Chain A
Amino acid sequence: MSDTQQKASENVVVSKVGVAAGYVDDRLASANFTKRLLDKVFPDHWSFMLGEIALYSFIILLLSGTYLTLWFNPSMTEVIYNGSYLPLKGVKMSEAYSSALNISFDVRGGMLMRQIHHWAALFFVAAVTVHLLRVFFTGAFRKPRELNWLIGTGLLTLAILEGFAGYSLPDDLLSGTGLRIAQGIMQAIPVVGTYVAMFVFGGEFPGTDFIPRLYSVHILLIPGILLGLITVHLIMVFYQKHTQFAGPGRTESNVVGYRLYPVYMAKAGGFFFIVFGVTSLIAGLVTINPIWLYGPYTPSQITAGSQPDWYIGWLDGAVRLTPNIEWNILSHTISWNLLIPALIIPGIMFTLLGVYPWIEAWITGDKREHHILDRPRNAPTRTALGVMALSFYLILWIAGGNDIMATAFNLSINTVIWTLRIALFAVPPLAFVLTKRICLGLQRRDKEKLLHGYETGRVLRLPHGEFIEIHEPVSFEERAVLLSKVDVPVMEITSGEDEHGVRNPKGRKAKIQAKLSGWFYTDNVSAPSEQELAEADEHFAHQLGAHERTAIDSH
């Protein structure tokens, strides 16, 4: 194509786009918004894509779920199975289970859709979890993003509920066992529990009402709320602009990255296809939830190794570890052995999770906006708190698979349970202390690196015979990151009385706050002063030969 021809064809494209855009803009005044949208800059970092994985898994779930609804029949009506899976031919089962079997064996590609749906669900909650961890450990939840953090907590909760609902729908032996446990927990709620269980299940367990009810919750109610909240979540990210890691050219008042159109769009869009592709490949090659092996649910059958999907594992683990405390007062029963692990512990955990941004802001007294992310080591107390909570969660999670662990490693299940019970109290504090130590160590190393450079491993013999190892200044990029550490002053402890000796009603609160602030920041390694930095530069200039100096600068 000649240059003029090419120009001409480009003009045609441009004018066509112009006409279409004009048509829309005449009606919606969309030009200004579209301009800002397409020009929006997004910072690039692998950890910013964790939330994307969650979003894409959700889209995959909507797509594959829609396919499944075309064949799934959420009915508890009893039928005799007559499909092509021989080991169940002639067995009595619910229509729900039988239609799930038909999807697996008689609808071509149905098995693939079912497995894509289930694997995507595991991906979804896993991605939400790691995304949450990234946001927590980098302090991205701080002002002005607290509200979005709260929405995120809600999304996680709903994702877990939605997953459990889906796991329960096929009415196989495993899903029925899960529902039995959920019903038992409902029944344990003081005062209203019996009524709640009766109303939710339409009578006693299992009844015939619950699966159809759960179905509308699973395919309409929860996904609808999820979709709404995800939309708000994304609009807020968009509106507040994404956070970024410290680095050359990055400040609290700018965003450095690639424009949405075309680079970010191509990368993010491409990543959607990759997530979908990987999910499909896994679904094609690896079995998930072989419902045909579990058999239809009946309340008189059980299998060894009855486990929930991974995201319910920690709750099941908590139920497994709790000792058998039950009170009988005035002919009423309080089942602490269920209330503590299934309602109180998750209640506390999710509440703390949701309000953490406000707790931290109150402790630190920090009211500034933050757009540059913290390196986890530079907020050692937060990082240590996070690891502590994570270790608590992990022990509960491991407890959820204690029987599989016992068989896999030839251990006594009783020993495993007792070990985990002790670990649940012993490990988190240890994790806190250890993490904080490690963070502070890393801070010291960072400062060391800034002031004295990194060890090159090259040894130099000085004229007077002494050997020294050559230290070289860190790279330009690393220097920018290391310099970004912010020194936060610890709040001063104010006395509980004002200058006239009158007790200040707010004084006590302020005192606690100041103490906590001290605890939060204490031991932090201070950033090097300007003078120290200048001396360090001087030192390097002297230590190294002129040509080495050039080499470093042009690094």
Chain B
Amino acid sequence: MAISRRHPAALLAVLVVALGTTGAAYAAVAAGTAPKVSAPSATQVTAGKQLFLEGCSSCHGLAAQGSTDAPSLIGVGAAAVDFNVATGRMPMAGPGIQAPVKKVVYTPAEIAALAAYIASLGPGPQIPTVEDVSTADADLALGGELFRTNCAQCHSFSGRGGALSEGRWAPSLMKSSAKHIYEAMLSGPQSMPVFSDNTMRPTDKRDIIRYIEELQKQEDPGGYGLGRLGTVTEGLFIWVIGLGALLGVAVWIGAKSR
């Protein structure tokens, strides 16, 4: 496992870096002007490189150039790293057709360091800030329309996910955070296509996230939602529970009374 192989000094370095970035981030937010992302410090990049070599390079290559098992990470940007590592998709537990969500292996500071290192290799999408994913002013109705146009084809009308070809799948969005949804749209992880900020504006993305947050609230005005899987579960329900109940009554009616 990647964790056990890490040198104790790396941890110390990460700690220092973490304190430093937290301070810098606080300063940036306090200033109110909020640059998109504070420039990563050299120490953060170094720490990230160390973590990368220990935990990621066996598949992605020593220079993150990629291999037959894994894609190149040059130019994927910090957003891709944060999405994949902070949702536990990376590092993968073993070879497979698609990386599932798992327990997160790295600490937030370590993830920041990894992201800083990968971002230093080539320009790519940055990790969105809190304002980037704030849905306070978002347009819920337009978000729904954008969701149905761009997302529902794979993640389904309810955001429950769906099947892709050859054993791949579009995951459920029910537990995804606004930041990770934004990052996924920016970076296009695995099978998912990229929705860059120029073709799908940041406001569009916030609208979509607003709609997904609405779906995550799970309010079913009509009663239990049956997993919001559509007509298949409705059909199973009527056959097993509905007809089952009526057959029970029919047997009662037909039985001789004592």
Within 8 Å by CB, do A and B touch in the complex? yes
Question: A-side interface residues toward B, CB under 8 Å?
Answer: 44-50, 53, 86-91, 104-105, 111, 115, 119, 122-123, 126-127, 130, 173-174, 267, 270-271, 274-275, 278-279, 282-290, 293-295, 300-310, 313, 401, 403-404, 406-407, 410-415
**Can you list 14 residue pairs at the A/B interface with Cβ under 8 Å?**
A50-B250, A88-B141, A89-B140, A111-B221, A173-B152, A290-B220, A294-B157, A303-B157, A304-B161, A305-B229, A305-B232, A308-B231, A313-B231, A404-B229
Assembly CA distance A39 to B151 (angstroms): 64
Closest to A284 in B: B223
Assembly CA distance A88 to B147 (angstroms): 12
Segment at the interface with A among B86-94, B126-134, B165-173, B177-185: B165-173
User: When A105-B221, A290-B225, A304-B170 are in contact, do A45 and B230 touch as well, CB less than 8 Å?
Assistant: no
Assembly CA distance A415 to B97 (angstroms): 14
Contacting residues, chain A, for B148 (C-beta < 8 A): 173, 295, 301, 303
Assembly CA distance A401 to B231 (angstroms): 9
User: When A46-B251, A89-B141 are in contact, do A289 and B163 touch as well, CB less than 8 Å?
Assistant: no
Question: Is B21 at the interface (CB under 8 A from chain A)?
Answer: no
Question: Is B26 at the interface (CB under 8 A from chain A)?
Answer: no
Q: Tell me if B243 and A130 are in contact (CB < 8 A).
A: yes
Assembly CA distance A486 to B148 (angstroms): 62
Contacting residues, chain A, for B226 (C-beta < 8 A): 286-287
Q: Tell me if A305 and B156 are in contact (CB < 8 A).
A: yes
Assembly CA distance A270 to B223 (angstroms): 27
Q: Tell me if A90 and B141 are in contact (CB < 8 A).
A: yes
User: When A46-B250, A304-B161 are in contact, do A412 and B167 touch as well, CB less than 8 Å?
Assistant: yes
Q: Tell me if A293 and B158 are in contact (CB < 8 A).
A: yes
Query: What are the 6 closest A-B residue pairs judged by CB atoms, nearest first?
Result: A304-B162, A310-B235, A412-B167, A46-B254, A287-B222, A303-B157
Q: Tell me if A49 and B250 are in contact (CB < 8 A).
A: yes
Q: Tell me if B163 and A290 are in contact (CB < 8 A).
A: no
Q: Tell me if A295 and B145 are in contact (CB < 8 A).
A: yes
User: When A300-B149, A404-B229 are in contact, do A111 and B222 touch as well, CB less than 8 Å?
Assistant: yes
Q: Tell me if A49 and B254 are in contact (CB < 8 A).
A: yes
Assembly CA distance A283 to B214 (angstroms): 23
Q: Tell me if B153 and A49 are in contact (CB < 8 A).
A: no
Assembly CA distance A524 to B193 (angstroms): 63
Chain A, interface SS category: helix
Q: B143: shortest Cβ distance to chain A, in Å?
A: 8
Contacting residues, chain B, for A413 (C-beta < 8 A): 163-167
Contacting residues, chain B, for A310 (C-beta < 8 A): 231-232, 234-235, 238-239
Q: Tell me if A87 and B144 are in contact (CB < 8 A).
A: yes
Q: What interface size band does chain B fall in?
A: 35 or more
Q: Which residue from A295, A305, A415 sits with its C-beta under 8 Å from B144?
A: A295
Question: B-side interface residues toward A, CB under 8 Å?
Answer: 140-141, 143-145, 148-149, 152-158, 160-167, 169-170, 211, 214-215, 220-226, 228-232, 234-235, 237-239, 241-243, 245-247, 249-251, 253-255
Closest to A121 in B: B238
Q: Tell me if A104 and B249 are in contact (CB < 8 A).
A: no
User: When A403-B163, A406-B163 are in contact, do A122 and B234 touch as well, CB less than 8 Å?
Assistant: yes
Closest to A413 in B: B163
10 further A-B contacts with Cβ under 8 Å, apart from A123-B238, A286-B237, A313-B232, are A53-B250, A89-B140, A90-B141, A267-B253, A271-B253, A282-B241, A302-B153, A304-B157, A413-B165, A413-B166
Q: Tell me if B246 and A53 are in contact (CB < 8 A).
A: yes
Assembly CA distance A270 to B250 (angstroms): 11
Assembly CA distance A49 to B252 (angstroms): 11
Closest to B139 in A: A90
Q: Tell me if A307 and B230 are in contact (CB < 8 A).
A: yes
User: When A278-B245, A286-B226, A295-B148 are in contact, do A126 and B254 touch as well, CB less than 8 Å?
Assistant: no
Q: B45: shortest Cβ distance to chain A, in Å?
A: 38
Contacting residues, chain A, for B234 (C-beta < 8 A): 122, 288-289, 309-310
Q: Tell me if A278 and B246 are in contact (CB < 8 A).
A: yes
Q: Tell me if A287 and B140 are in contact (CB < 8 A).
A: no
Contacting residues, chain B, for A174 (C-beta < 8 A): 157, 230-231
Contacting residues, chain B, for A407 (C-beta < 8 A): 161-163, 169
Closest to A306 in B: B230
Q: A171: shortest Cβ distance to chain B, in Å?
A: 14
User: When A87-B144, A404-B232 are in contact, do A305 and B162 touch as well, CB less than 8 Å?
Assistant: yes
Assembly CA distance A282 to B243 (angstroms): 11
Q: B130: shortest Cβ distance to chain A, in Å?
A: 24
Assembly CA distance A290 to B31 (angstroms): 46
Q: Tell me if B229 and A304 are in contact (CB < 8 A).
A: no
Contacting residues, chain B, for A288 (C-beta < 8 A): 222, 234
Q: Tell me if B246 and A46 are in contact (CB < 8 A).
A: no
Assembly CA distance A419 to B206 (angstroms): 42
Q: Tell me if A287 and B243 are in contact (CB < 8 A).
A: no
Contacting residues, chain B, for A412 (C-beta < 8 A): 165-167
Assembly CA distance A401 to B250 (angstroms): 30
Closest to A270 in B: B253
Closest to B161 in A: A407
